[in-house]
Every structure is written in C-alpha cells, then in structure tokens.
Structure 1
C-alpha cells in the first residue's frame, strides 16, 4: 500500500477525531487535496507530501503524541534545504513548537533561530509564508524561559512588518508582542497593544480564534497582570471553548491562568479544580514543568481553603510541585516559587520563604521576577524578614515594594505594598499609622474583587484598629472578615479571625 495513502489515512483519522471533538472547527479539505497528488519520482518529497507530513505532525501534537510528532518533523527537516521556503519555515515552526512542549527549550530556540536567520533583511513585503508563525514560536520559547527581552526586537520587527494585514497568524504574533511587553514591564507599549489585540481577537469567529489559541491565553494572562480580572476570565474561558476536545496542550496554558484568577478573586473551589485539570493535561503530554506548577498552584489554594493544622501537608505538596519544575528555567519555576514562598510564610517558615523567593527571583532587586508581581513578592519578603528579626531588611523591602508599585500604577500592587508597611507599623506599636494603612489596603483589595486578601487584611489589622479606634471597631472588622471568608470558602481566614477574637484576648466583647 503506498506510503502517501497510509499517511493520509492516519492524518484524516487523527484530524477527524480532533475535529469531531472540537465541534468541527478544523477542516480536512486540505488533507483530501493531498490525496489527489502523487509522490514524485526520485527521493525528493513533493510539496503536497511534505504538507501532509506537517499536518500529521500537528495532528499528533494535538493528540498529545509529542515524541511521534518530533520524530516525523525531524524526518521532514532531514532534507530541509531542498524544501520550498514556505514549507521549510513551516517545518521549522512545527519542530520548534514540539520541542517547546517537550520542555526542550534550548533545542526549540536553536531550531527556530536557524530558520529565522535565513530570512532576508530588510524583511520583504509581503513576508514569506510561515515567517509570522516561526517568529511566534521563537518568541513563545523565550517567554516561557523568562528571556523574552532577547527575542523582543525580532518579534516586534516581524510583527511590525505584518501590521495591518489582517492575517490570523500575524495577529497571533502581534498578540505575543503585546503580551511580551506587559510581561517584561514595558507598560507604556504593552497596555494599549494588549487592548488593541483583545478587540481584534474578540472580533474573530471561533473557527479563526481556534487557529491561534495561544493568543487568547496570552491576552487573558496579560489582563491578570493588568488587574482586568473580568476580561481575563472571558478570554481564558473562550480559549478553552475553542480548543475543547482537541489541542489539549493549548488548554494546558489556559487552566493555570484560570486557577491563578480563581485564587485572586475568591473562587477557591474552582481554582483547585482548574489546577487539577492543568495537572492532568500536563501529565498527559509529559510536560513536567507544567505539572510542577499545577501542583504548587493547588497547594496555594489549599493553604486558604484548609485548616491551619493541615499546613505541613500543604507545604509538602507545594514543595513536591516546585521540585517538578526546572529551577532557574523561566516562567514555570518562577511562578511556582512565588506560590511556594507565600505558602511557607503562611506556614510560619519565614526563613524558607526568603530563601526560595530570593533564589528564584535572582537575588536583591528580584531581576528574574515578573515586574508586575515584584511589589507583591517584595511585600512578602518584607513580612518574612520582619518575622526573621531583620527590621532593616523588612523596611527596605517594603520601601522597594512601594516604589515599584507606584511605577507600575497597579492598584492591587499598591495594596500589597501598603499592607507590608502596615505590618511594620503594627510591629513597632504605631497603631494609628498601621490602622490607616490596613484600611487603605483592605479597601484596595475589596475594590479589585479580591475577597480573600480583603478579609485577610482585615484580620491582620484588627489589633491596630483595636488600639487606635477601640475594640468595637476591631470586632466589626473581624465580623466583616468572617462574612467575606464564608462566601469564598477561606477557612484559614475564619480560623485566624477566631484566634484574634478568642475570649482570652482583649478584643472580645463582654459576655
């Protein structure tokens, strides 16, 4: 039986299953056309045959058979110099994407770089077919490695050359460029570009959006960092919808974002379920870094949703997840470290908190940490340093958190910085100043739609409020914290409120 027929049958079967499961979004017409052409004489594959092989690679990738996809695309590239330019660029893009999904970031970057270096300079108009997708895969690898600054110039160059074309693949690249700027803290360009790309993606039908599912994940994650939570939910959920039943490796990037959102916005039960689903999908394709982050995110939910007596078990779970990531290897490990650091602080391991946040953040100044999250991390380090008995470090970190938060102009990050200063004033017995800052911080979290942090801040500030305004005011704060925590399942907040207002403490109302 001819090789072409067998490959065509395999691709049609894989894609048919995928398309049926995803609501018929994917089209098989291109694959049927390949069957109408023959393999040429000699040992050089016809373009139609190469196209079929690449389609098979994409189908295998969508089915989670990454090693099979890698073997096949490497077969295509074994004679890459003889391929037409568009097929050669497409083949390198497919190969880079498979290597990335396998967690082989060095190989993925090298593969994409080899092909990108063949593009003529200055870039031609129109761009060669496949150039946008290749630049997209290259930028995405650097994004996940935490080295996007190295790729930014090239991504923006190709995205700029593609600007205004209306092509869906090029819109995906422009979205990556916008997200990349937000990711590295270039808010002046990133914020308006994310908003523009969001409008364009919103205008796409699902069939077109399904061709760039990463774009919806990136827009959603950018909106998390920009504290636009409702928009982030909308885009991440749509991303799941357009990839439903197929391309599970794409959905793997949406679930961590949703779990993170669930933590911030008080959907703790959903956040845990989303983390479990992210872990399941990551395991199904052997993405170890993604598995590790998902486990740590689940622990970050449980530290609020479970009792304090379960802290040791939750810390062990978080550390298991952290061990599953590649330390110092970019986004996965960095995000897991932030979660683990906060879990350790909540579990009274201040030294462990400082150690993990500095190790993964790159030391003083946190050069490896995401700029939008630096105030939160610095605020955590401030409280941890205070518990370690280092007041000078605690003040330095609180000051840094305040400075960076003001530079970013993000309200939630300002609230984190204010709370760090409030904790310092509380420790120094400056209760009037502490109460004012706790109140501002709590109100900032409330306005942002972050009930867990709102309630936790009320509990932390109750003692200063009692000293500055009287026990009735403090008890009112605790009542509000308990009410809010019940609505989102934050058991840990309720326990701490009960501890603060215990009968043996002066906050309690007379019997």
Structure 2
C-alpha cells in the first residue's frame, strides 16, 4: 500500500510530475492536468467530506480505460490529505483480505481514514469479501464493463450504513479534448486529435504525440485509414496486446486487418480458424473488453477504440499483414462492397496488377458522389497499379482521379491531372470528359475565358469540337457547363440560347438532363425578367427537387444551387434560404467541397436579406475559408464582400477587416457576375461611395453588369448616394428609373425598392406626405417578403416623414417597431439610426405643436401626396414581418381579454396562469404590434383584430 505524505502528494505523483510532458507515460503516471474533470472531482470530494447522513462513504469512479480514473483518484488523494484525511492507497490486485480486515475507521491520532483502491475489478475474492466488512471510507475505481461476479455481489450487498456514490467518467467534451492535445486549440490538428481520440484523455494525448499527423485530405477520406497513423509505443496498451497469444492473438490480429466493424465469417476465414474456435476467442476478447458488440447491431463487432485496433495492426509483422489482406480481398471479391475490397487491395496488390487497378477504379467511381476524398485514394492507387501499355485505362482513370479531386475541392490538383489526361485522351468521349471538367474547374477558379476556350465558343452543337460525342449524358454535361459558365461570366444571353434548345435526351441514359434544362430556363428567365415570367417555372423545378431524396441530388447540386440563387433573385427569399440550406447540408454530408462555397454564398445572401445577421456572418466565414482552401479567389472575394455588408449592419461602424480583405481578394480579378456583385456590395459599404463609382463597376448607366431582376434595388442605392452627395435632381432621375425598371419586372420586392427610393427623394425635397405614403407601402411589401432590414429602413423613412409633418404622436410607435426589428436581427446600425431619430423628434416635439404643418407638398414636391391620417395607417395597417399570423394562440387569448377591459390578475385567473406570465406575454405582444402601453393596444384593437394564432 501507499500512504500519502504530509504535504498531500504521493511519491508516485511527484515522480510523474518530474518526468515532464513528453516522457513515456505509464497508466499511473500520466502527466495530464485535470482537464474537463472539475465537476467529477468536486463530486468525489463532496461525497467524502460532506456526508450529513451519518453513513460511511463508498465512492465508485467508473469509466472506460484511459478516461482518467487513476488520475482522478490521485488528485482526490492529494486534496483530501491536504485537508487532514489519512489516505491509504493501493492497487486492488495487490491488497489482501487480511490487511483490509484490520483497517480502523480512524487513525491513532483520531483523523479520518480513507482507503483508495484502484482497478477494483482485479481484486481477489478474499479482498472483496473483506471490503464488505470494512470500517473506513472507501474511494475505488474500476471498469464497469469488466465487473466480475464477486465485485457485482459486493456492490449489491453493501451494508446499509454505507453511503454509496457513483461517479462515471465519460468522454471529454470537444473543447476540453482540444486543450488536452497541447496543440493550438483553434487549429485543425487539435480538433482532429480530439475526434480521433474519441474524447478519451489517454487516446487524445496518444494520437497528439504521433510524429506525423495525417493531412487534411487524408482526414476527409475517413477513419478507415487510422491504422496507417504512426502511433508511438504505449506501455499500457502494448501490455494489453502482448497478453494476446495463441489463437486469441490470431483472431484479434485478423479482426484488426478486416477493420471496424467486422463480421464473424470473414474474420474467422482470415484467421484460419473454425467458427467454434472463433466464437470462443471472441468471447474472451469481449470479456477482456478489447472487443465490443457494434452498437448498430447486425451481429457485427468492433474494437473498444479505433486506436487500439490501429496499434494492434501496426505491431503485426509485414508479411502477416500482406497475407491477411490478400485473403480478405479474395473473400470480399464476391460478397463485399467495392470500398471494403479496395482497402485490402490498396495494401497488398503488387505494383503492376490490371485486375486490382480495375477493382480500385470501380470503388473510386462508386465513392465519387458520397466520399470523394476516399475516391481520390482509390483512383490514385488504381493509377499506380496500371501498366504503362494500358493507355486507354490510364486516361480513363486520370479523368476519374481529376473528378474526385475536384469534388473534394482540390481544384488546382485536379487541373494538373486533367493536363495529363488531355494528352492521353484516346477517343471523343474521353476528350469531352476532359473538356467538361476543365471548364468546370476553370469556372470555379474564376478563369472564365479559360472555361470558354475549353468548351469552344458555342454550346454543344454544330460548332462544338466534341459534336461527334454520341453519349447523351456526356452531351448534356457539355451543354450544361457551357451554359452555366456563360451565366457565371455574366453572359445571360448565351445561357438563354442554350436553355431554349431541347434537353430531352433519351432515357435512361441521361435521366437528369430534362430537369437541368428546366433549371436553366427558369434561372435565365428569373435573372432577366423577374417573377412575372419565371415564378411558375421555378415553382415546378423546386417541387421536383423536393420530391427527390438527398442522395439523388448529389450529382445535381450545381443545379440545386442555381435554382436557389434564382429563387433569391425573384423571391420568396425564405424559399431560397431553405433550398440553399438543403444544398449546403447535402454537400457537407457527401463531402462535395468543390461546390460548397457556391452553396454557402447563396445561403448567406438569403440569410442577410432575411435579417438573420449572426447566421449570415457564420455562413460567410465558412464560405471564405472553404474558398481559400480550394483556391477559388473569386468566391473568396464574394464571401468577404458579403461579410463586410453583414458587419456594416451588425456593428454600425464603417468598413471593417472583411472590407479590406475583400478588396485585396478582388483586386485584379476580371469582371464576372460574382465579382461585379461583390464590388457593388463593397461600394455600398464604403461611406465615401459616389454614384459614379457604382455605375463604373456595373458597366454603365444601364447597370448591364448586374442582374436585370435586381437593378431597381441598385438604382435605389444610387439615388440615396446622390442625395448624400447633395444632387437631388440626379437622385430623382435614379428613383424614376427604378420605378420604370420595377414596373417591367412585376416584382413586389423590387417595386418596394423603387418606392423606398421615391420616399428618400421626397423626404429630401420636403414632400413629407408623399414620402410617408411611399415608405409605408415599401415597408408593407418588405414585411410581407420577410426582408427585415429593408422593412426597418423603410419604417425609419416613414418616421422621418411623420416627423416632417409634425405628427409627433405617430412617430414613437414606428420607431419602437424599428428598434424591435433591429433587436431581432442584431443590427446595431439600424438601432443607432432609430435612437438618433427618436432623440431628434423628442427635441423638436417640445417646441412645435402637434400637426402644425399643413398636410400638403410644397411646390415641386414631386410625388403625389398620400397623407397618413391615423395611427392604424401609420403602424397598425402595416402587416407584420414575414406576413400573418402575428400572435400565437395564447397571445391572441390574452389580447382579447385585455381588450375587454380585464386587468392582468383576472386575465391570469381566466387562463390558469400567474400574473407574471401574462405580463411577459403582453411585453411580446407590444413588441409585435409596435405599441408601448396598454391603452395603445386597446386603441389598435378597435380598428381590427390582429393576426390569428400560429398554426
């Protein structure tokens, strides 16, 4: 046994701390701080020092191997010894029943005695029997999965005066596990080590000490390659594996080769044992807690931890591994999945083996849509095993490798491989595949001229060099890339010409071509003609996408993203956000990093439109990081420009770090649909932006560089810029152009932008009634569309117009609603503008009587006067953001009872709640309806009941 010294530390603990953080680490001397175990330690100490029931504590610390049970016991011993407790500690396997039977409850000096037993599952039956009659307090640790019958009986039959307390050590949370690695906690290495270790402290530290961590690409390939991670020696794990001898060792090593999870029949065949021998060996492995039943059932088994399997695999002789992999590959040839067989072939196939290369290529093609990073590994292994004379197979495998690399987001590597594939292409089909992929990767990298050169000047047809291609799927792919590339370059006319051609290729050879053609037609109509023409087409496309399961949409993710972008352009924005969110989810789950920045950009833009600033900022950050990783500088600039716009709304300050980063990312980039939009966003963020700057960015006064369906919005921005510059006449011209453009589109949102531009011009010219009418209509339209920030800006204009008419009583409810919108969106800028306007109104209201100004426009006021005559018109008539319903069922009940004149106490009694709950509901009702007091609510209700309950 080991007794704690007066200073509170055992000699063992002193040696462990002196060893240093990089010393070899036996189980009892892990130099690991108590990271993430504060709660468990506090519970142990409280149980041993704060028991008020009079019972003697019996504290059990349980957990899987490596979770830190021994370290927790050591820390508890030190702290309790420092408080005066006499601590006696021992490994349970070495303690005898005779020693335990004579231990007193207290020491000779009268101090409390604590017996600490580690690995209680190893104790002898005599020791366990003596523990039942023991008098001092006990702190023990054991593996719950290895509870022998004697220990189970002891725990079941503890005396009644024992105060039993259980403390289970589960995996650490990810943040604590990252801190435990000793690596930068915000880096990818720490995050991967935490995941690979499963949150188990011993394994997290073990994998973090590996001399070479896997690359990011290999990590994305999955956990099946963990056994290739060079793990340092581990005394505890190695000792456990050394005990596997004879048949037990053969079965365990065969299972390590087969991989997790493993089935009985193939593993027994690889081990070379019969079924009965295998099952007996598995029973023993389960008893030793080296192997466990798979949680998903189906009769499969898996190792206790992937790193234990990896260490066992690495300790096998190389010759034994090769033989086992060959045997497994042979067994799986008829029954296994291509990926399962590919893993074994990649470890054992000779340097030149056409049959193995073909099997690896089939596995790569199978994994292309769902596991592209793994497909890269299989395609690379296939390429290595192809003989030099197999030119056609090498060309086909090179194209497969390039497609897998591009799907995984490694665009530059993919282009390099395509260069080799182009030289080796042997037939029109392979040349067409190279051209299609070259155009796609050039487009994603922002090199639109190269993309056009790869496909030829015209879409697939008479002028296309690959017009000899007869495969319908290949022809559809070429035409799609040509059209999408034209859209990305800003050439909508070329894309529209391709969309008007027939996309009904024979089925089932090209099952997706018809839907792609419908997407292309709907998108080009949306970007050019707005919802009046495109809404019905988009609705049909979205319905078809909704009817398909997620796996079926993986090959069509670019079409889904284009549909979401078109939906956002013409509305409704909520539908665009939903579709983009689905595309992001599918791309993440399937590992399609090549298209993920595009999907994130569309989702972030929709979230910004809806006023979800925090979510939009997170989305922009993800898009920018992914775009940098993939080398897509154009998308990096677009994401950072969008982030700069989000920061402007969120912080209320001028351009921040994202603005400068976006300018650098976009510097020197050729004009395209994305770069023009990104530069326009940056111009709108800059406080010194002059109208001529945006006109130059957009290619002229007609703004040809911007989508026609969004030009009224930018014309409104130009009108406001001219007003800031003091040129009211130029602003009026832009407002008139916005109204004309919106009338052609038939878009309620773009019409609202034109109304907002007219309101701004009328405010500047003193036409307050006209400004108020236009702002009120714009706010209503923005509210119906769910565009929160735009609704808030329009309401702010309405408040200024009402103040200009000296209608002071109507201004506070409007500004209260603006502040409510700002709070919901997290927009400090909008909140600051509302507060500033409130202060201005308050300073004027005391000096000018209510309604002193005549309700008529001054000469030259411009727009026809639309006076506001009541609070209902100013606020109550505005539909709520996002449209009805406004109030929940409970809020509607409370509103009706309040309108009947009942006080809060009687309302609470009627509904069976307390008065505080009624007050909380009323606060939310006031905020939703834009009122500030009970009397205003009653007055508002007399004009009509607000929206009904939510469904």
Q: How does the TM-score come out when normalised to structure 1?
A: 0.86
Q: 1:505 maps to which residue? A: 843
Residue from 566, 580, 584 that aligns with 1:240: 584
Kept after mapping to 2: 8 A contact 1:96/1:108 = yes
Kept after mapping to 1: 8 A contact 2:604/2:616 = yes
Confirm or deny that 1:386 pairs with 2:723: yes
Listed as ranges, the matches of 1:122-201 within 5 Å are 128-159=472-503, 167-185=511-529, 190-201=534-545
Kept after mapping to 2: 8 A contact 1:252/1:278 = yes
- Asked which structure has the greater RCO (Cα within 8 Å, sep 6+), the reply is 1
Q: 1:2 maps to which residue? A: 352
Report which stretch shifted further, 462-471 or 500-509.
500-509
Residue from 550, 556, 568 that aligns with 1:212: 556
Q: Deviations over 1:173-196 (max 9, x none)?
A: 431332123223376654333222
Distance in 1, Cα, partners of 2:419 & 2:471 = 25
Q: 1:341 maps to which residue? A: 683
Confirm or deny that 1:318 pairs with 2:659: yes
Residue from 53, 60, 69 that aligns with 2:398: 53
Kept after mapping to 1: 8 A contact 2:532/2:747 = no
SS in 1 for 2:809: helix
Q: How many pairs align?
A: 490
SS in 2 for 1:116: coil
Kept after mapping to 1: 8 A contact 2:504/2:514 = no
Give the direction of change, closer, same or farther, for the CA distance of 1:323–1:162 in structure 2 (3 Å limit): farther
Distance in 1, Cα, partners of 2:728 & 2:768 = 17
Residue from 435, 444, 452 that aligns with 1:109: 452
Q: Which has the higher helix share?
A: 1
Give the direction of change, closer, same or farther, for the CA distance of 1:498–1:105 in structure 2 (3 Å limit): same
Unmatched tracts of structure 2, length 5 or more: 1-350, 850-951
Q: Deviations over 1:458-502 (max 9, x none)?
A: 123312112336101012111111112111111111111111111
Residue from 788, 792, 811 that aligns with 1:455: 792
Kept after mapping to 2: 8 A contact 1:341/1:354 = no
Q: 2:70 maps to which residue? A: none
Q: Which runs of 4+ in 1 moved over 4 A?
A: 3-18, 26-29, 37-41, 117-121, 123-127, 160-166, 186-189, 507-510
Distance in 1, Cα, partners of 2:846 & 2:644 = 33
Deviation at 1:21, TM superposition (A): 8.5
Deviation at 1:267, TM superposition (A): 0.4
Q: 1:366 maps to which residue? A: 703
Kept after mapping to 1: 8 A contact 2:532/2:745 = no
Q: 1:99 maps to which residue? A: 442
Kept after mapping to 1: 8 A contact 2:641/2:658 = yes
Kept after mapping to 2: 8 A contact 1:73/1:91 = yes
Unmatched tracts of structure 1, length 5 or more: none
Q: How does the TM-score come out when normalised to structure 2?
A: 0.48
Residue from 482, 498, 506 that aligns with 2:819: 482
Distance in 2, Cα, partners of 1:460 & 1:400 = 20
Confirm or deny that 1:399 pairs with 2:736: yes
Q: 1:494 maps to which residue? A: 831
After superposition, the CA RMSD in angstroms is: 3.4
Q: Which has the higher strand share?
A: 2
Residue from 800, 804, 810 that aligns with 1:467: 804
Residue from 544, 564, 568 that aligns with 1:224: 568
Q: 2:622 maps to which residue? A: 277
Kept after mapping to 1: 8 A contact 2:722/2:728 = yes
Q: Deviations over 1:415-451 (max 9, x none)?
A: 1111111111111111111111111111111111112
Residue from 86, 89, 95 that aligns with 2:432: 89
Kept after mapping to 2: 8 A contact 1:279/1:294 = yes
Q: 2:272 maps to which residue? A: none
Kept after mapping to 2: 8 A contact 1:373/1:413 = yes
Kept after mapping to 2: 8 A contact 1:386/1:424 = yes
Distance in 2, Cα, partners of 1:256 & 1:238 = 13
